[in-house]
Structure 1
Amino acid sequence: MSHDSADALIGSGDFEPRMRTTLGNLDRVLEHFGARRDQIVETTVLVRGLRDHFGTVARLHAAYCGDVEIGAAVRLDVDH
């Protein structure tokens, strides 16, 4: 998803611009469907070489998502 509106790859070889472009593209998709960031329920980030880019992913994802309500971060494990 790190392509601009003209389908050009952004930030070839530079991870941060690519991640920023991807998040910007997500904003455009949300806007197209009349949705907002605060309506996002869950995100999944798939990154090749996450070990090398974890800090950047964490920082940009946190900035994109903003404050998360504590209730939204709770995970319950239920024994069957």
Structure 2
Amino acid sequence: MSKNSRRKATTIKPSYKPFEKTLIDKGVKKKDLKENLGISPSTLHKMKHDEYIALDVIALLCEYLECEITDIVEFVPTDNQA
């Protein structure tokens, strides 16, 4: 491979689409998460925009919602030039 050639790197990013569905299925509102778990508005904002949040927060959500991690987050591939 020459120095000038580029290769395609695949990375992953979180998607919290399953979280939204789980909230609906469980009849839980984000307000409930703020009040009962102390989840900050900034964490919910990050989730809305598919940004990384701490794993301990995901674990707390799983425990509260009585669900699996895959009911909260999934990882989707993104293609980047490296």
TM-score, length-scaled by structure 2: 0.25
Query: Relative contact order, CA 8 A, sep 6+: which one is greater?
Result: 2
Greater strand share, 1 or 2? 2
Larger radius of gyration: 2
TM-score, length-scaled by structure 1: 0.25
